[in-house]
Amino acid sequence: MLANLIIRDVVLIEHLDLEFKTGLSVLTGETGAGKSIMLDSLGLATGARADARLVRHGCSQASVTAVFDLPGDHAVLNVLAEQDMPLDGELLLLRRTLGTDGRSRAFINDQPVSIGLLKTIGEALVEVHGQFDNQRLLKPDAHGGLLDAFAGHDDLVGLTQQAFEAWRAAVREREQAEADAEEARRDEEFIRHAVEELNALTPQPGEEATLATQRTMMMHGEQLVEALSEAVEQAAGHNGAESRLQNAVRALERVAEKADGRLDGAVSALDLALDGLADGVVEINRLSNDLDLDPARLEEVEERLFALRALARKHNVQVDELAALCERMNKQLASIEDGSASLSALAAAETAARRTYVGAAGALTESRNRAALELDEKVAGELTGLHLDKARFVTEVDELQESDWRASGVDRIQFLVSTNPGTPAGPLNKIASGGEMARFMLALKVVLAEADPVSTLVFDEVDAGVGGAVAEAVGERLANLGAGGQVLVVTHSPQVAARGRNHWRVSKSATANDDDKARVWTTVEPLEPGARKEEIARMLAGRQVTDEARAAADMLLGGGAS
């Protein structure tokens, strides 16, 4: 929820630091006192378009900070995490500065951000409903998601999305296979020749390193043989290391009993040395036996190594990649020779995936149609109490062309209204007047309150042009919305104001400076019960507050205050 709003040098406001609470909060005051400035300031902090005229006259910069207290599971936290801006604690600060040149800067928790990101975060935290604002509920693109949330059929939405993605993947696979087959047909002669060369050579992974090692050893075979022979002679030949170690062991063993066991370690170490020496001789002999000094074999190894490297250069790959290239080109050739069968299988898989998507989307459409009827009925019930009983609200669910099908289904969903009997329904912002639109928005928000939760709802003069029982109905619905969260209302209706849990009065003051220039500023003050009754009496009676107006205010507060 919105916890604080700190305003500096915005139009008539020099400095305000307001603390907000949950429930329904009302802002009242005479026309021109500056109530709209409050909403402009909140809009500035949440990413609305900036206007240099908002900067207070004589100041170089305006600044607004909105502080929000968020629960740990709020969706905004995921957006912040994706931007590598995790929230430290529960308070989120949105700040915007605006200069006289119209340039503005945005900050989230004092980190500079784009205006676009500030707007994205702001729209998820605050929803403003005025008489002519371009609100989210007026945007057809949002209506499908609102209807789905109202219906609560997340399982059907998920199945449809999964089926759509599987279908599109099947389409991409079939299209890729067709493109590969077409490319293969164009390059068939080259592919056949390349496959013959590769199959004839039959390259193996890691073969280049093995052949290179063999070639090196064979090229230096005589030197290796000479060195190995000398090593064996030194190790195991007459008077070699093995013979000398054996003589050393025998010499120690002859006197071991006289040394009281102190020579046992030396004898063991020499025995180990003899074992190691023997192992070394075995390895030398094995290598000697493996040496192939046949010049014909060397020529054979070199021919194959050079052939592999030449083929790798020809295809612009590494030698170790030739085996994979051989397998891939064999598959390409097979697709040419048996392409129709493979493409038919992929086409059949695509058709099956499409059928699955159509089935899932159809079930979703049926559920949407049922939910649309229920939504229309509930909104109609709210409209009757808001003195719009002749108006008609229609949730239109139309099927899209197949080219427009998407993961969310095959439906175009739009909220339409008709304000007069017999007239066709049309978009809300094209059909309804300002006052009617605000009440339509209120009716929709009441019905969609659980399906479309927003941290803070703001209503700007939703009661314009109504009074009496209708104003009472508006106040009741606003109070019900406030019971489930935070609602701020700018109002001229005493019936609505009496419903508020919290009440602020906006007023404008003026004084003359020494140079006879007027200084004008706006103030906002929270009202205690006595001052609140006086304010509601003023709203009932006008400038001259009478005892009858105070008595009427008492009645409104007694029956409506929460």
* pTM attached to this predicted model: 0.63
Quote the CA–CA distance of 334 and 337 in Å, as a whole number: 5
Question: What confidence score (pLDDT) does residue 170 get?
Answer: 96
Q: How confident is the model at residue 30 (pLDDT cuts 50, 70, 90)?
A: confident
Q: How confident is the model at residue 435 (pLDDT cuts 50, 70, 90)?
A: low
Question: What confidence score (pLDDT) does residue 512 get?
Answer: 60
Could you read off the pLDDT of 273-310 as tens digits, one per residue?
888 888 887 887 777 666 666 677 777 878 888 888 89
Q: Kindly state the tokens that stand for 351.
A: 């058709």
Could you read off the pLDDT of 111-165 as tens digits, one per residue?
999 999 999 999 889 888 765 454 667 788 889 999 999 999 999 999 999 999 9
Residue scoring higher pLDDT (362 or 327)? 362
User: Is 70 exceeded by the pLDDT of residue 517?
Assistant: no
Q: What is the mean pLDDT of residues 69-98?
A: 86
Q: How confident is the model at residue 108 (pLDDT cuts 50, 70, 90)?
A: very high
User: Is 60 exceeded by the pLDDT of residue 28?
Assistant: yes
For the ranges 119-123, 468-472, 558-562, which has the lowest average pLDDT? 558-562
Quote the CA–CA distance of 504 and 482 in Å, as a whole number: 16
User: Is 80 exceeded by the pLDDT of residue 95?
Assistant: yes
Question: What confidence score (pLDDT) does residue 118 get?
Answer: 93
Nearest to 236 by CA among 194, 279, 190: 279
Quote the CA–CA distance of 163 and 358 in Å, as a whole number: 8
Residue scoring higher pLDDT (174 or 90)? 174
Could you read off the pLDDT of 380-433 as tens digits, one per residue?
988 888 888 888 899 999 999 999 999 999 999 999 988 888 788 888 767 666
Q: Is 408 strand, coil or helix?
A: coil
User: Is 70 exceeded by the pLDDT of residue 544?
Assistant: yes
Question: What confidence score (pLDDT) does residue 562 get?
Answer: 38
Nearest to 46 by CA among 89, 84, 96: 96
Q: What angle do CA 122, 126, 132 make, to 5 degrees?
A: 105
Number of residues written out for the chain: 562
User: Is 90 exceeded by the pLDDT of residue 560?
Assistant: no
Q: How confident is the model at residue 228 (pLDDT cuts 50, 70, 90)?
A: low
Question: What confidence score (pLDDT) does residue 327 get?
Answer: 87
pLDDT > 70: percent of the chain: 92
Q: How confident is the model at residue 369 (pLDDT cuts 50, 70, 90)?
A: very high
Domain residue limits, the chain: 180-340
User: Is 60 exceeded by the pLDDT of residue 561?
Assistant: no
Q: What is the mean pLDDT of residues 47-55?
A: 90
| DSSP designation for 113 | E
User: Is 90 exceeded by the pLDDT of residue 6?
Assistant: yes
Among 156-170, 302-316, 324-338, the range of highest mean pLDDT: 156-170
Residue scoring higher pLDDT (162 or 255)? 162
Quote the CA–CA distance of 326 and 307 in Å, as a whole number: 15
* 378 exposure class (CB count in 10 Å sphere: 0-12, 13-18, 19+): middle
Judge contact between 45 and 122, C-beta under 8 A: yes
User: Is 90 exceeded by the pLDDT of residue 332?
Assistant: no
Helix (H) / strand (E) element for 447: namely: helix 434-447
Q: Is 73 strand, coil or helix?
A: coil
Average pLDDT of the chain is 84
Q: What is the mean pLDDT of residues 501-530?
A: 79
Q: Which residues contact 557 (CB under 8 A, 6 or more apart)?
A: 498, 529, 532, 533, 536
Q: How confident is the model at residue 362 (pLDDT cuts 50, 70, 90)?
A: very high
Q: What is the mean pLDDT of residues 240-245?
A: 79
Helix (H) / strand (E) element for 127: namely: strand 126-129
pLDDT > 90: percent of the chain: 29
User: Is 90 exceeded by the pLDDT of residue 467?
Assistant: no
User: Is 60 exceeded by the pLDDT of residue 39?
Assistant: yes
Quote the CA–CA distance of 77 and 84 in Å, as a whole number: 10
User: What's the farthest any 2 CA atoms get from each other in the chain?
Assistant: 134
